[in-house]
Amino acid sequence: MEVTLNHFLFVSGLLFAIGLAGVLVRRNVIVIFMCLELMLSAANLSLVAFSRFNLTPSGDADYNAQVFLFFIITVAAAEVAVGLAIIVALYRAKQTTDVTQINTMKN
């Protein structure tokens, strides 16, 4: 069976679903953050797949999508740095990374 656009979109959606399930299932805030990164990368895969399969009139791939992806990866790197700094600050304040223990704003 030849690989089509749907194959790539399905893998992308499957990765997103796994990341979503991980965010709901896990309690460790670091693993939740990893699952968020996974969901972001899954979206990247569908972006690249569309760029490769929707060719421009000259027959070349649509490189605007890949420039966009470059920005996404840059912003994601900045997001990881800030997010992990917040997690470290949280751990220093609460001595835990379990999201069920961090309930100051509950009630």
Partner 1 sequence: MEQAEVMLDLLFYIFSALTVIGALGVIVNKNPVTSAFCLIAAFIGLAALFIQLDAYLVGIIQILVYGGAVMVLFLFIIMLMDLPSEERRKFGWGAVAGGILVGCVFVVQLVRVLGDYSAGSRVMQDLPDGVASDVEQIGKLMFTQYYFPVQVVGVLLLISTIGVIVLSKRELD
**Of positions 57, 60, 105, 106, contacts partner 1 by CB under 8 A:** 60
User: Is residue 88 at the binding interface for partner 1, with CB under 8 A as the rule?
Assistant: yes
Give the span between the Cα atoms of 46 and 6, in whole angstroms: 10
- 43 in contact with partner 1 (CB under 8 A): no
In whole angstroms, how close is the CB of 25 to partner 1 at the nearest point? 4
Cα-based torsion angle of the residue sequence 13, 19, 25, 31 in order, rounded to the nearest 10 degrees: 170
Q: Report the residue number, 61 or 107, with the smaller CB distance to partner 1.
A: 61
Number of other residues whose CB lies within 10 A of the CB of residue 46: 19
Distance CA(87)–CA(26), nearest Å, equals: 15
By CB under 8 A, residue 94 contacts partner 1? no
The least distance separating partner 1 from the CB of residue 42, rounded to whole angstroms, comes to 8
